[in-house]
Amino acid sequence: MFQFAYLFLILLAALPLGRTFLRQRGGSPVVFLHRLYRDLAYIAVAVIGIICFETALTISLQNYWFEELGQSYRYWLALGLRSAIFVTVLCSVGIFVGYNLRALCRPLPAVPKSAPWFAAFVFSAVVAFSATTLWLPLLGFLGAAATGTSDPVFGKDISFYLLALPWYDDLLDIVMTVLVITIALWAVIGLGLYPRSGRALDHFNDYLRQPGTQVLRMIGAVEADAPAQSGTIWGRWIRQGLALGALLCFASGVSRFLGRYYLIIDGHSQVVAGGSYADVNFWIPAYNVIMVGWIAAAFILMAAACATRIRIWLLMRPSHWVVLCGLFVVLYLGAAIIPSTVERLYVGPNQITLEQPYLLRSIAGTREAYNLDGASMEEREFAVSAAPLTREDLDKSGATLRDARIWDWRALEPQLQQIQGLRPYYTFAGVDIDRYMIDGVQRQVMITARELNVEKLPDQAKVWVNLALKYTHGYG
């Protein structure tokens, strides 16, 4: 409705940007970048104002509609929850990402001081808007009440699995996404824009500039002529990366911790619904081992970020961190391979014995869920008929009995393939069940068609004549 007004506002905000490009004649690149950022900020403010206006207009119209329906309370409840999620995610993600971006851009004077914060809050606004769809899981989490029934493995109430666990998973997904994107920005800015050194990154305490090497890869970056200054820049960058890596490892450990509860909902067994013998005795301990591995990795990385001696010991020699990474990989793969191997080689051949307690538990849980147990359940025996069957009863139902299907269509298809295939390239796509009048009586029959499958022709027979002319139709 206001498209032309929005377009005019954006064009008006873009006027300073055009003037900046027209007046750029051999000036300082740093000054040009600062002016460019300022002019782009004008456009961004105009866009944000348009979004705010559209949001306010939408809220007013929806509020009017729900008031007409007498459901304004539900609308404002949902809007309040969505607003609370938006503001919380906007502030927390914006502060976290903004702090990290500001620390990364501090050695780069070409980047305005407010640019990292502005970019961080734009990114956090996108994340917060996508997170507003979680208001329903949040409502369920806030309104969760104990059901009085607990799972037999962890002792958690059923409400935890239905209402709390999904909310925890959604929060963890947001945290993991923000951490991964922040680490990606850390790597791109550090490796792409920071000063180069003639030595490897692990010698960050003593960087030396080689003659003829371009020290700065971004216009206006801090001059790193002194080795100590260059080492300080790289030292801060490495400490920040270690801290971010520690947070990511810790979040991965929490993810594995929550993953244990999903084994109770949907385990690895093809027989038991929920936790099986392998899930309870092997997969849950394996998840615990992986979780401890992630937490240990987070502790090591955070200790290296905080303590200089640990950081130097870890990074000065590749053998130190290679050994630690190798141990973690072996631990992770072992915790993933051993339970699946045990389940295939030991549990599979002994399912009747090993899975019986868990199968009975699953059946009891199903009966309780459908209220098929206890005083409300009544069992009765019903006779097939009021009187015993006689020959006359069978004669009366002769038409029905003669039409009773004895053959199994699933077993008939491979049998037909064996006795009626005749040639390797003849196949039966499937068996259908139909009814036809035979000798004046409607009979149930199974029918199928023998078809050509040119893919099964020998390789020497796959020529153009056979594929395009000959093997395109049946010969009777």
pLDDT tens-digit profile of 110-163?
788 888 998 999 999 999 999 999 999 999 899 888 888 888 888 888 899 989
Span 179-192, pLDDT tens digits: 999 999 999 888 88
**Residue 442 — very low, low, confident or very high, per pLDDT cuts 50/70/90?**
confident
Residue 355: is its pLDDT beyond 80?
yes
What are the structure tokens assigned to 269, written together? 């067994």
What pLDDT score was predicted for residue 317? Answer: 76
Higher confidence at residue 469 or residue 347?
A: 347
pLDDT band with cut points at 50, 70 and 90 for residue 24: low
Cα separation of 359 and 275, whole Å? 9
- As beta bridge partners, residue 438 has 441
User: From CA 281, how far away is CA 278, in angstroms rounded?
Assistant: 5
pTM, to two decimals: 0.70
Q: Are 281 and 267 in contact (CB under 8 A)?
A: no
The Cα 325–Cα 385 span in angstroms is 73
CB 215 within 8 A of CB 196: yes
* Contact residues for 278 (Cβ-Cβ < 8 A; gap 6+): 267, 268, 269, 339, 342, 343, 347
Identify the top-confidence range among 84-98, 111-125, 257-271.
84-98
Which two tokens mark 441? 């009586």
Q: Give the chain's count of helices (H) and strands (E).
A: 18, 4
How many percent of the chain have pLDDT more than 90? 23
167 or 364, which is more confident: 167
Rounded to an integer, what distance in angstroms lies between the CA atom of residue 434 and that of residue 414? 19
How far apart CA 219 and CA 343 sit, in angstroms, is 59
25 has a pLDDT exceeding 70 = no
Confidence at residue 418, expressed as pLDDT on a 0 to 100 scale: 72
